[in-house]
Chain A
Amino acid sequence: EVQLVESGGGLVQPGGSLRLSCAASGFTFSSSWMHWVRQAPGKGLVWVSRINTDGSNTNNADSVKGRFTISRDNAKNTLFLQMNSLRAEDTAVYYCARESATGYNDYWGQGTLVTVSS
């Protein structure tokens, strides 16, 4: 059974940093592109970041470019999102999601809440 379990969310002050993790199991993690998608309270889904299988290629939404870094540890089957210079508008539930062979997000974690507030 495919499982994605996010952790690392919490309350952080504006300008602060946070590192999210996503532990993967039930599939060959090292063969899958992975994504982060976020959802502000009561709002829609927003794609954040994507990483290829070996971590050599990453892409980010303009809204987080230069502040967020996606990475992975294939030996530990774990995806990361390093978030720096956090702003109030980064407050959201952050989901990790697997990219299927057809290029869409077929499995999602349960999400972890990040709240940026003083």
Chain B
Amino acid sequence: EIVLTQSPATLSLSPGERATLSCRASQSVSNSLAWYQQKPGQAPRLLIYDASNRATGIPARFSGSGSGTDFTLTISSLEPEDFAVYYCQQRSNWPLFTFGPGTKVDFK
């Protein structure tokens, strides 16, 4: 089973700052990794797929990078609506999918 770890668990930032979130896989997942955003009381929203491709309608301030075991989600300049929990997900270990534990981005 591929295990995903995310760091930090919580990231305290102010609007306008840059956010850098990390996801590490226990073994290579190639580029088969996605990032999701979840706000309280809402379903997750797909942000990034295949490590670096923005999903439909996702603003350009969100970017993803990495391959193999180390991945990064960057939010170039935080907007108030970006304060949420972010999860990575791998689909390399098909047909089993796994999520990371999440990183919460909250107000400093």
Q: Are A and B physically bound partners?
A: yes
Determine whether B11 belongs to the interface, using a CB cutoff of 8 Å to chain A.
Answer: no
Within 8 Å CB of A102, what residues of B?
Answer: 49-50, 53
Determine whether B59 belongs to the interface, using a CB cutoff of 8 Å to chain A.
Answer: no
Given A103-B91, A106-B55 in contact, is the A44-B46 Cβ separation under 8 Å?
A: no
How extensive is the interface on chain B, given as a class?
A: 20 to 34
Give the shortest distance, in Å, between A56 (CB) and chain B (any CB). 13
Say whether B46 contacts A106, CB under 8 Å: yes
Tell me the bound Cα distance from A66 to B45 in angstroms: 30
Q: From B98, which residue of chain A is reached at the shortest CB distance?
A: A47
Say whether B32 contacts A45, CB under 8 Å: no
Q: Which of B32, B43, B56 contacts A108 (CB 8 A)?
A: B43
How extensive is the interface on chain A, given as a class?
A: 20 to 34
Q: From A60, which residue of chain B is reached at the shortest CB distance?
A: B96
Within 8 Å CB of B50, what residues of A?
Answer: 102
Tell me the bound Cα distance from A108 to B53 in angstroms: 19
Within 8 Å CB of A109, what residues of B?
Answer: 43
Determine whether B99 belongs to the interface, using a CB cutoff of 8 Å to chain A.
Answer: yes
